Amino acid sequence: MIQRKIILILADGLGDRPSRTLGGQTPLQAASTPNLDALSRSSSLGLLYPVAPGVTPGSDTAHLSIFGYDPYTYYKGRGPFEALGAGIDLLPGDVAFRGNFATVDERMVVVDRRAGRSLKEARELVEYLNDNLRVDGVRVLLKHGSEHRFALVLRGKGLSPDVTDTDPHAVGLSVNLSQPKSHSEEAARTAAVVNEVTKQSYALLERHPVNAERHGRGEPKANIILLRGAGSLAEIPSFSSKYGLKGFGVSGTAMIRGFCRLIGMEAPIVEGATGDSNTDVAAKAREAIKALETHDFVYVHFKATDAAGHDRNHELKVRMIEKLDAMVGMIVNNVSGEEVICVSGDHSTPADLGEHSADPVPLLIHAPDCFAEGLRFNEQTCVHGVMGRLRGQELMPVLLNQANRIKKFGE
Amino acid sequence: MIQRKIILILADGLGDRPSRTLGGQTPLQAASTPNLDALSRSSSLGLLYPVAPGVTPGSDTAHLSIFGYDPYTYYKGRGPFEALGAGIDLLPGDVAFRGNFATVDERMVVVDRRAGRSLKEARELVEYLNDNLRVDGVRVLLKHGSEHRFALVLRGKGLSPDVTDTDPHAVGLSVNLSQPKSHSEEAARTAAVVNEVTKQSYALLERHPVNAERHGRGEPKANIILLRGAGSLAEIPSFSSKYGLKGFGVSGTAMIRGFCRLIGMEAPIVEGATGDSNTDVAAKAREAIKALETHDFVYVHFKATDAAGHDRNHELKVRMIEKLDAMVGMIVNNVSGEEVICVSGDHSTPADLGEHSADPVPLLIHAPDCFAEGLRFNEQTCVHGVMGRLRGQELMPVLLNQANRIKKFGE
């Protein structure tokens, strides 16, 4: 019995709906995908409900589910995922937030939720706040993510993630006061800390030289921080203890690398893997192939399909699928052929919609002894596939079975 | 509304994968199965996950699930199944083990885990131990199974199934001391009893005349017993109380007969039904047809497909499927035609793998008023079948529906 290695490739937001813009096709149907076509012909197809039929997951809950962790148990807000992705080593009890720099007027009304979006001084401002925000008995840690985004962690005794966002989630509204979501003392205290930190951020940023310069150039000031998605880390069993596999993750997206590390997988920063449309797929493929020499399970995440869907850019989504296809080719043509290779998405992001949806995602599983269906790989061919319809949490057991890594239940 | 009788035929380990050895076919595809073909053309097909997608069951957990008993609730180790199969009437509180005769050297290192495998004196030795093993306050019951195998039951107050095996599961290793798996007094006491019984077995067997004779003939001595799979019986509702059906089981395999009796079905030994490749399928078919006169539900188990898969013998598996086909023909051609007939497997045992797998099993359900698909019966035709994909615990309700034995939920 050969125990196969497993390569799991998930294209973020891959699934789609037929669109008039593409003559009634989905981006996957419209794209030219010679490598996926070749792989698909000798693969078993199916559909994947990342969580369950009718559930529209975020990338975070989808990843939990697909890696076998019930998101209803393990998902405790996006903040911890963001913090892990930014490279903060979270401790139990820490409360983590997603943060943005934003622009407010003197009445604390939000004028620009992203302070102009591509804020090249963000890292400098994050470091400044990291050094100067001071709250009694609580450490305030910030770490820059990308553009105007960062993670913020409150560390100390007696904190709770049960607090509301300060981000009003729309321009023209005032910055919210964080409120406790429960009656606990910890939640009340944490909300007070969040409001104090927000107030200090305005005081510190409004008079920061970067903002004087931005103002001089006619750019919106990054003069406040908005926080959302408070959460604490759930105790989570490691991927290796769950499956007996040594795992490795390749992703240009901080949050996904953070997720991989959360479950104990190695997931270094890969030079050139940016998570956007310019990402270097050759670098990602090389990293995956190299990792396969020393690991049983290699996960490759491809982000740009999701971003194109969010941007309602059908043409770009088609091109990003073609880029994914190139990466799949580089991987498939440089491994032994004895591996189990799975290609799917973490969820659908239909380009007509510009948002995640609950549509199931096409699923391809290849192994030397799988049932070959002789079909292309898309939302419609997958409907009739040998693999049927799997839920996220069923995928890993099915891949382990195909890899002959079988734990028998009973005798 | 005619309430139909039900015939369920499960071929053990039936499911398989396409194999190079068979020109890319599965054994079921490669076999000549005129009777199954004829039945299949007028049947509804589907796939059965014996427990759930990605779960590789043993025959024991698979049978529990397929007969409608959640194996995660009712499965408490293999020992009780083995004991029931050997004909020991278990009581609540009994701790049952699977046992082997084995050969150890004077350092208690296992030289042969099966004492030469076909141990014709096994029954005599079992009876000798049954009469001579003595532990204070505990009855030690042994009953011979087949070849070198037996069941051993400890009966008394304050025992626990939470103890480890003495069987080291490999040659060249010492016989293990049984250890308690929990901190309970009962587990500690049971482990001590197991170790005492093991020690006595060596003293009794080493000087038994059978072993002097075996030694004289150059055969390995059966000079110790190895125990594994400690378990106690779960309280389980009867098949008749669950479904309102009077059930009958036909199997040449002790464990399966034990399972049938555990759920209150009649399951006598059938002359000629051996559970191996020489089994007398005509005798089994006759027994099934006769039982159908007085029972609502007849279960027929066919073991040899599984054994061929374990032996990685594709050719033999094909021939055993052809033997199964003959049995199916004898049954189908000698009943009224008004029955619900279901043919499937308890799990897959791909011959390339030589082990159970989680691959779903082809499923055929025939009734006079079912949707006829006009197809042969194999892993690939079943992918698109009318019955879809069922989990083990869904099969009985589906068969009851097809048999017009319907309990309405609501009004």
C-alpha gyration radius of chain A:
22
Q: Are B333 and B341 in contact (CB under 8 A)?
A: no
Contacts of residue A390 in chain B, CB cutoff 8 Å?
A: 53
pLDDT digits (tens, 9 = 90+) for A213-257: 999 999 999 999 999 999 998 889 999 999 999 999 999 988 899
Please list the residues that pair with B8 across neighbouring strands: B299, B342
pLDDT at A324 over 90: yes
pLDDT at A1 over 80: no
Q: How far apart are CA B243 and CA A309, in angstroms?
A: 51
Amino acid at B93: G
Per-residue pLDDT, A220: 94
What's the number of CA atoms in the CB half-sphere (13 Å) around residue B28?
A: 29
State the residue for tokens 């038994």: B208
B308, B351 Cβ separation under 8 angstroms: yes
Q: Which residue of B has its CA nearest to A409?
A: B57
Report whether pLDDT(B90) > 80.
Answer: yes
Q: Which residues of B touch A (CB under 8 A)?
A: 17-19, 47, 51-62, 71, 75, 78, 229, 350, 352-360, 379-380, 383-384, 389
Range name among A144-153, A331-340, A388-397 with the lowest pLDDT average: A144-153
Q: Where are the alpha helices (DSSP H) in B263-351?
A: 281-294, 304-310, 314-332
Q: Which of B349, B357, B380, B387 to mutate to test the interface with A (most CBs of A within 10 A)?
A: B357
Helix (H, G, I), strand (E, B) or coil at A252: coil
Q: How far is CA A15 from CA A26, A177, A287, A309, A358, in A?
A: 8, 38, 25, 9, 9
Q: Are A312 and A302 in contact (CB under 8 A)?
A: no
- Of the pLDDT bands very low, low, confident and very high (cuts 50, 70, 90), residue B201 is very high
**Beta carbons of A128 and A208 less than 8 angstroms apart:** yes
pLDDT of residue B24: 96
Record: contact B61-A410, CB cut-off 8 A = yes
Among B316, B296, B297, CA closest to B306: B316
* Predicted confidence (pLDDT) at residue B163 exceeds the cutoff of 80: yes
Task: Please list, in sequence order, all residues whose beta carbon lies within 8 angstroms of the beta carbon of residue A199, skipping any fewer than 6 positions away.
Answer: none
Q: Judge: B51–A409 Cβ closer than 8 Å, yes or no.
A: yes
| HSE-up of residue A75 (Cα within 13 Å, Cβ side) | 18
Residue A393's contacts (CB-CB under 8 Å, 6 or more residues apart) are: A65, A66, A68, A69, A70
Q: Which residue has the tokens 């079912």?
A: B370
Nearest Cα residue to B349 out of B398, B307, B409 = B307
Q: Does position B334 have pLDDT exceeding 80, yes or no?
A: yes
How many beta carbons lie within 10 A of that of residue A316, not counting itself? Answer: 18
What is the rounded average pLDDT of the residues B62-83? 92
Q: Which residues of chain A make contact with B96, given a CB cutoff of 8 A?
A: none
C-beta of residue B287 within 8 angstroms of C-beta of residue B272? no
In the structure encoding, which two tokens stand for residue A207, read together?
Answer: 């008079």
Region for B225 from its dihedrals, namely left if φ exceeds 0, alpha if ψ lies in -120 to 50, beta otherwise: beta
Q: Cα separation of A1 and B352, whole Å?
A: 8
The tens digit of pLDDT for each residue in B252-281 reads: 988 899 899 889 999 999 999 988 899 999
Q: Which CATH number fits domain A6-75+236-402: 3.90.1150.10, 3.40.720.10, 3.40.50.2300, 3.40.50.300?
A: 3.40.720.10
Would you call A369 and B17 a contact, using CB atoms and an 8 Å cutoff?
yes
Mean pLDDT, chain A, integer: 95
Confidence of residue A92 (pLDDT cuts 50, 70, 90): confident
Size of interface A-B (CB pairs under 8 A): 83
Query: In 3-state terms, what secondary structure has residue A199?
Result: helix
Instruction: Collect all residues from A whose CB is shorter than 8 A from any CB in B.
Output: 1, 369-372, 384-386, 388-390, 394-398, 400-401, 404, 406-411
Answer for the pair B84, B258: CB distance below 8 angstroms, yes or no. yes
Per-residue pLDDT reduced to its tens digit, A121-179: 999 999 999 999 999 999 999 999 878 999 999 999 999 999 999 999 999 999 999 99
CB atoms < 10 A from the CB of B158, how many?
12
CA distance B49 to A248: 30
Residues sharing a CB contact under 8 Å with residue B15, sequence separation 6 or more, in sequence order: B26, B28, B345, B347, B348, B349, B350, B357, B359, B360, B361, B362, B379
Give the mutation candidate from B348, B359, B384 for the A interface (greatest A CB count, under 10 A): B359
CA angle B147, B150, B155 (to 5 degrees): 170
Distance CA B130, CA B135 (A): 12
Which region, left, alpha or beta, applies to residue A173 given φ > 0 means left and ψ of -120 to 50 means alpha? beta
Name residue B19's beta-bridge partners. B25
pLDDT for residue A406: 86
Q: Which residues contact A377 (CB under 8 A, 6 or more apart)?
A: A28, A33, A36, A37, A39, A40, A43, A45, A343, A362, A364
A85 burial class (0-12, 13-18, 19+ CB within 10 angstroms)? buried
d(C-alpha B365, C-alpha B43), whole Å: 6
Contact (CB<8Å) B357/A407? no
pLDDT of residue A147: 84
CB contact under 8 A, A409 and B71: yes
For B90, phi and psi rounded to 5 degrees? -70, 150
**Which residue in A384, A386, A401 is closest to B54 by CB distance?**
A401
Which chain A residues have a beta carbon less than 8 Å from that of B62?
410
- Judged by CB atoms closer than 8 Å, whether chains meet at A388 and B53 is answered as yes
Question: Residue B378 contacts by C-beta under 8 Å, 6 or more apart in sequence?
Answer: B26, B28, B29, B362
pLDDT at A89 over 90: no
Residue A122 makes CB contacts below 8 A (sequence gap 6+) with: A101, A144, A147, A148, A149, A150, A222
Position B33 confidence tier, pLDDT thresholds 50, 70, 90: very high
Q: What is the pLDDT of residue B145?
A: 84
Helices A59-66 and A254-262: crossing angle, nearest 10°? 30
- For residue B375, what pLDDT is reported? 97
The mean of the pLDDT values for chain B is 95
Identity of the residue in A371, A394, A407 whose CB atom sits nearest the CB atom of B53: A394
Are A346 and A57 in contact by the 8 Å Cβ rule? The answer is yes
**Contact across the interface for A401 and B359, Cβ inside 8 Å:** yes
pLDDT for the residue numbered A78: 83
Look at residue B16 and tell me whether its pLDDT is greater than 80: yes
B61: Cα within 13 Å, side-chain hemisphere: 22
pLDDT band at residue A203 using 50, 70 and 90 as cut-offs: very high
**3-class SS shares of chain B: helix, strand, coil, % to 5:** 35, 20, 45
**Would you call A404 and B353 a contact, using CB atoms and an 8 Å cutoff?**
yes
pLDDT beyond 80 at A334: yes
Distance CA B58, CA A15 (A): 36
Q: Is A257 helix (H, G, I), strand (E, B) or coil?
A: helix
Taking contacts as CB-CB distances below 8 angstroms, the residues of chain B near A371 are 17-18, 379-380, 383
pLDDT surpassing 80 at residue B43: yes
Model confidence over B344-376: pLDDT tens digits? Answer: 999 999 999 999 999 999 999 999 999 999 999
Measured between alpha carbons, how far is residue A236 from residues A36, A233, A256, A377 in Å? Answer: 34, 8, 16, 34
Identify the pLDDT of residue A410: 87
| Residue B118 predicted with pLDDT over 80 | no
Domain regions of chain B by residue span = 6-75+236-402, 81-231
